[in-house]
Amino acid sequence: MAAKFKCWRCGHDLGELPKPLPRLEQCAACEADLHVCRFCRFYKPTILGKCDHDLAEPAREVDIANFCQYFIPSTQAFVAKEADKERQAREKLAALFGEDSVSDKTAKSDDPLEKLRSLFEDLPGGKN
């Protein structure tokens, strides 16, 4: 049985990942980069440099796509507690500025035209 991969940021089921994972691959749900240190089997937040591989150079940004040739996706990368904290912070921020809640935005259709329309409406002067 193949291991199930979940997005390191939102926990969305990624199913089967292409091998090798393209550098600019993103999560379909939250659009987070996937070829990142946070999604790697060698990522250890408790050590200096955050990478446990002997030959890899530490990345400056652990959640932005990189060119690391030692990258191996991890099935343990998603931590629900961190995602819940981020969601709660986004909800508070949205409430502070009187915007739709994050859960309302994610519940909208995955239709690309609807996404573009929503982005346009978010621009200053976008709503008529």
The per-residue pLDDT for range 89-99, each reduced to its tens digit, is: 888 888 888 87
Q: Hey, where are the domains in the chain?
A: 1-78, 86-122
Predicted pLDDT at 18: 81
Instruction: Name the burial class of residue 12, with classes exposed (0-12), middle (13-18) and buried (19+) by CB atoms within 10 angstroms of its CB.
Output: middle
In the chain the beta strands, taken as DSSP E runs, fall at: 5-6, 13-15
Separation of alpha carbons 17 and 96, rounded Å:
38
**In sequence order, what are the residues at sequence separation of 6 or more whose Cβ sits closer than 8 angstroms to the Cβ of residue 10?**
27, 29, 30, 32, 78, 83
Predicted pLDDT at 82: 67
Q: In terms of pTM, does the model score above 0.95?
A: no
- Residues in the chain predicted with pLDDT less than 70, given as ranges, are 1-3, 82-84, 100-111, 125-128
Three-state DSSP state, 15: strand
Predicted pLDDT at 1: 46
Separation of alpha carbons 50 and 119, rounded Å:
35
Give the residue from 49, 53, 41 showing the smallest Cα distance to 77: 41
Separation of alpha carbons 19 and 25, rounded Å:
11
